[in-house]
Amino acid sequence: MENAAGSEPSVWALAPDAVWDGERLLESCAVLVEGERIVGVCPAAGIPAGVAVTRLDGCTLLPGLIDCHVHLADWMLPGFLAAGVTTVRDTGNRLDWILERRARTAADPASGPRILCCGPVLDGEAVNWPSIGRRHLGTREVARSVEELAAAGVDAVKLYVNLTEDQITEAVRRAGGLGLAVIAHLGAVDAETAAAAGVGEIEHLSGCVHHVEGAGPPDPGRTSRWAAAFLESGVVLCPTLVVWDRLSRVNDAVFANDRRSRWVHPDIRAAWRRFPHRTSDTAERLARQARVVAMKETLGGLFESGCRIIAGSDTPWPGLAPGFSLHDELALLVDAGMPPRAALATATSSAADALGLGGVTGRIRAGLAADLLAVEGDPTSDITVLSEVRRVVRAGTFLDRRILEDASRAAFAEAPTDAVSQLIIEVADR
């Protein structure tokens, strides 16, 4: 890794064609950095004398991206950074493992993105994913898990599909008393009920549009009711359209030939090729594809109603390369009707605010972390250029892509033993 100003901390500048600061597009401006922090934004013609300047001709500079829904493994960390994703939230993992990785990337920002975490998902009597989930028979057990996770220092708790309404209500009550955010992947409980119970964030449009069941067009009346419930309760939505798109089109050759898949561990790529969705009934796959369209239409209506939306990918399910799949998610949000600038906000300023990081990252502003991404072109008019990554800065340090590639190759030399990678392999081998 190299420091743009040498080994001694000093002010240096990035001068792109444009700066998208998380809210506005600024032309002919430069960003000033000192140490790990942004210290200012100034006209490019007004860069102070003596400041070292890195010019980024043809590029737009953005805040480092935030993926609000991932399940981490070590082999993913270089890929996230290579894609300009400098912050992630892990939404289900082994508690001791993810807490150690969170501490590691905090101590060495060049080793991976900033990590927020939930620990294991809190499930009901049935547990869909035993390696990263916990079983709870009643409300008392859920309360105890919330208390344990709070004591361990997680950033939020995640509720899962088999919890009852009473269990969700108790989890929210206990988490609120401990100052913990609550997110939920709903199953037995619908979205309006969860919003009324105080769930702060809903993943995957669960409780609204199921990714498998039914394929008819969305009901505008129901969408309006959901929007009213979410606005009244302040619910944030993390739709992760990309994971359902990929699972519905797992036989599409474009993903098998995606050059970005080189950031994916070979054992995981092999598991993707064995995934059961590939050989499921044709009618089921087509119904899934139709349901993705319904999800987009529903999300478009919720956005038009003013609902808060943040971006997540659900990496590493099939076809989701770490970091780069977040670029694909933003493109799907645009396809669902969001303007490119609004989609960019879901992975920068809006995401930071929703995750409690508004004073840390998500914008290009003096005092915030110097987590930055330069892409060739203008993503505020063409969202697809996000994958044209030219430079990434993490905590004030330029990241050398060759070093990230070397780190990936080193991780790929060993079979992945983490809980998430093993889960993907186990699903593929069922």
- Domain assignment present for residue 176? The answer is yes
CA distance 152 to 145: 10
Residue 3 in this model has a pLDDT that exceeds 70: no
Q: What is the pLDDT of residues 172-210, one digit of tens each?
A: 999 999 999 999 999 989 999 999 999 999 999 999 987
Give residue-wise pLDDT tens across range 384-393.
999 999 999 9
Q: Which amino acid is at 90?
A: D
Region class of 204: left (phi > 0), else alpha (psi between -120 and 50), else beta: left
Asked whether residue 373 is assigned to any structural domain, the reply reads no
Residue 189 lies in a domain: yes
Distance of CA 349 to CAs 85, 231, 363, Å? 13, 19, 6
CA–CA distance from 3 to each of 6, 9, 84, 266, 410 (Å)? 5, 9, 17, 32, 23
Mean pLDDT throughout 336-347? Answer: 98
CATH of the domain at 82: 3.20.20.140
382 inside domain: no
* Number of domains observed in the structure of the chain: 1
Q: Which of helix, strand or coil describes residue 293?
A: helix
Give the separation between CA 90 and CA 92, rounded to whole angstroms. Answer: 6
Residue 93 lies in a domain: yes
Is 117 exposed, middle or buried (CB count within 10 Å of its CB: 0-12, 13-18, 19+)? buried
pLDDT at 251: 87
Environment class of 417 (CB within 10 Å of its CB; exposed 0-12, middle 13-18, buried 19+): exposed
Q: How confident is the model at residue 212 (pLDDT cuts 50, 70, 90)?
A: low
Residue 223 lies in a domain: yes
Q: Which of 272, 245, 122 is nearest to 183 (CA)?
A: 122
Task: Share the mean pLDDT of the chain.
Answer: 94
Whether the per-residue pLDDT at 31 is higher than 60: the answer is yes
Residue 142 belongs to a domain: yes
Instruction: Give residue 134's domain range.
Output: 64-361
How far is Cα 364 from Cα 18, in angstroms, rounded to an integer?
12
- The token pair at 35 is 């140490």
Is the model more confident about 183 or about 281? 183
